[in-house]
Amino acid sequence: MFCYQCQEAAKGIGCTGLKGMCGVDSEVVNLQDLNVWLLKGLSFNTEKAREKGVEDAYVNRFINKVLFSTITNVNFDKNAFLKQIKETLVLRDAMKQKAVAAGAIIEDNCCDPCCWTSDNDEEIFEKALTMDGRIDAPNEDVRSLRALVLYGLKGMAAYADHALNLGFENQEIYHFVQKAMVALTNDDMTLEENIALVMETGKFGVDVMALLDKANTTSYGNPEITKVNIGVRNNPGILISGHDLKDMEELLAQTDGTGVDVYTHSEMLPANYYPAFKKYAHFVGNYGNAWWKQKEEFESFNGPVIFTTNCIVPPKSDAKYSDKIYTTGLAGFPGFIHIEADANGKKDFSAVIAQAKTCASPIEIEKGEIIGGFAHAQVFALADKVVDAVKSGAIKKFFVMAGCDGRMKDRNYYTEFAEKLPDNTIILTAGCAKYRYNKLQLGDIGGIPRVLDAGQCNDSYSLAVIALKLKEVFELNDINDLPIAYNIAWYEQKAVIVLLALLSLGVKNIHLGPSLPAFLSPNVAKVLVETFGIAGIGTVDEDMKVFLN
């Protein structure tokens, strides 16, 4: 295998051998790569069918789901990918038949991902061994740009799937994903055309985050400023992790009146901010920290854990909680119980609830509260107060410190950076990167907390909307004239689409860390630096001078 799609790429180059840094087996990575490769063929046939007026809603959604399932730490189950590959092949050939029947002309050998086929498990595994995670390309720069597009598409697919679970879709997003997947096979595209595709990916990144924001707020209300309890009660509990708010809704409804409490973990923390969930008295608050601390925190929680999306860390062989982990949606891990939706899209969490009742209550690992809920609607409600603070000089600068957290020690940089920021600065955050500083006692400015948490990684959209609103209020021509600096942490592919979305909105001078993506070639990195001012991070003291000057 070869994989460099996340920030933990071994030695800053890529993971090879039998297992990746995330814990995924090479066999699974190879199957993922094969499936993504075959999706290019499915997308090709789907595009040809669309040109003749044939649209297939199932295929549109399926392509997105497969891309989402290949994001880092989503699914570790080779059988799940083997099943997907077989369905991809069936759908690919069916879409070709539909396209040809509608009048499309498709050559039998039009492209390799359109032609290769097998329904034999051994042959599929053998083919998977030939896959290379570096992506086929005529040169390193095109390969680098294609990686930016593909990983952006994976992040986009995740957000589109969350929106779909709430009944919201945008057909143009599906169409773009398929167009882009086909473009990844086109060696005739110039470097400039590949760069344009990267920027177009960012544009659709904005669109998909806007779609998910609409889905979440329409379904559950606008997030509100909320003090979230981080202590525990004496009842048995269920811990829910991941990003899918539909799963959160169903779990809360099914646990109501059972005597079982519900706690959020990691990226599910922002569920505490939504009005629709606050009506449940057994919704206690948040337990623990970012995803990478789950091994010790799941042990102390005592009760069962539900993974709704990514951020699974393979447990140790002797982990006491291994028989209490459930996955749902596209998440999966060998040995974990998977909860499927029924024909109506509903999920039955009764087995989780029954197990929770047999467990001890969580062990308290901290006390107190953290504050969040500063999505765009809530910040707009505070707009006058914020503007006055900026005009008076009480607030000198905003720092967008959104993105992902991770287990590497160099991420302590973000905690130190937050601690050393002057008292007249505000941190705008979204994503699990917040756990590096959201429990620090940083105070407030005239009643405005110095850490404003907008929510999950997809809620980085809120931060962009806030910036655009401030640009309008201060009557500026350029978003980069605002007193806002960007110091963003990344880990996986959803952070890639957030970065591309910000670039498409014209945001410049973003600092990205703790290391730049391994898939960026020197020339592509140079283009990003020269065109957008992208930079890495240095020491806290060095970077503080750059940002504050």
| pLDDT (tens digit per residue) in 157-170 | 999 999 999 999 99
pLDDT value of position 64: 97
Domains 1-134 and 380-548 share a fold: no
For residue 41, name the pLDDT band (cuts at 50, 70, 90): very high
What's the rounded Cα separation, in Å, for the pair 501 and 261? 37
What would the mean pLDDT of 481-500 be, rounded to a whole number? 96
pTM of the model: 0.97
pLDDT value of position 240: 98
pLDDT value of position 406: 96
What would the mean pLDDT of 36-40 be, rounded to a whole number? 97
CATH of span 226-357: 3.40.50.2030
pLDDT value of position 111: 77
| pLDDT (tens digit per residue) in 213-225 | 999 999 999 999 9
**Kind plus residue range of the DSSP H or E element containing 305:** strand 305-307
Which position has the token pair 């809704």?
249
In this structure, the number of other CB atoms found within 10 A of the CB of residue 77 comes to 20
Can you give the residue ranges of every domain in the chain? Answer: 1-134, 226-357, 380-548
For residue 107, name the pLDDT band (cuts at 50, 70, 90): confident
User: Is a pLDDT exceeding 80 seen at residue 110?
Assistant: no
Q: Mean pLDDT in the chain?
A: 96
Fold of 380-548: Rossmann fold (3.40.50)
| pLDDT (tens digit per residue) in 334-357 | 999 999 999 999 999 999 999 999
At residue 358, the 3 state secondary structure works out as: coil
Contact between 285 and 264 (Cβ < 8 Å): yes
CATH of span 1-134: 1.20.1270.20
Residue whose C-alpha is closest to residue 209's, from 35, 69, 402: 402
What would the mean pLDDT of 30-59 be, rounded to a whole number? 97
